Chains A and B, each alone.
Chain A
Amino acid sequence: EVQLLESGGGLAQPGGSLRLSCAASGFTFSTYAMSWVRQAPGKGLEWVSFISGSGGNTYYVDSVKGRFTISRDNSKNTLYLQMNSLRAEDTAVYFCARDSSVSYPDYWGQGTLVTVSS
């Protein structure tokens, strides 16, 4: 059974940092691209970042470029999102998601809440 379990969310001050993790199981992690998608409270979905299975290709939404870094450790079956210079508008539930073989997120974690506030 495919499982994705996010952790690392919590309260951060503006300008602060957090690192999110997503532990994957039930599939061959290294062969799947992964994404982070966020959802601000009461709002819609926003795709944040993507990483290929090897980690060699990454993409970001413009609003997080230069502040967030996506990475993965295929030996640990874990996806990461390093978030620096956090802003109030980064407050959201962050989901990790597996890209299916046809490149659409087919499995999602339950999300971890990040709150940026002083």
Chain B
Amino acid sequence: EIVLTQSPATLSLSPGERATLSCRASQSVSSSLGWYQQKPGQAPRLLIYAASNRATGIPARFSGSGSGTDFTLTISSLEPEDFAVYYCQQRSLWPRTFGRGTKVEIK
């Protein structure tokens, strides 16, 4: 199966700062990668699909980039509601797999 490695595990930032989250795949997934946000006690929310496309209703401060094995989720200016855990997920090969997540916490 494809292993997704997310880094860093935790990112400590202040509101207004830029967040850069990384996801690396153990083999190429082309552009078949999504990003999800999850807050405590809630279901995940789709942010980005196909590596760089924002899902419906997602603010423009969220952007995704990359292809092949290296991907990035960028939050241009953190809002208070953005502090959460972020997961990448590939749909290139079965089984679909998720990364272990990056927690974005308030510094």
Contact = CB atoms under 8 A, between A and B. Distances in A.
Interface-central residue, B46, B53, B55, by most chain A CB under 10 Å: B46
B101 A44 contact: yes
A105 to B, nearest CB: 6
Q: Is the interface of B mostly helix, strand, loop or mixed?
A: loop
B90 to A, nearest CB: 10
Interface residues of B, number: 25
Interface of B: 1, 34, 36, 38, 42-46, 49-50, 53, 55-56, 87, 89, 91, 94-101
Interface residues of A, number: 23
B98 A104 contact: no
Contacts of B53: 102
B46 A45 contact: no
A95 interface: yes
A111 B42 CA distance: 9
A3 to B, nearest CB: 12
A46 B98 CA distance: 6
A104 B91 contact: yes
Given A45-B89, A108-B44, A102 B49 contact: yes
A59 B101 CA distance: 23
B91 A103 contact: yes
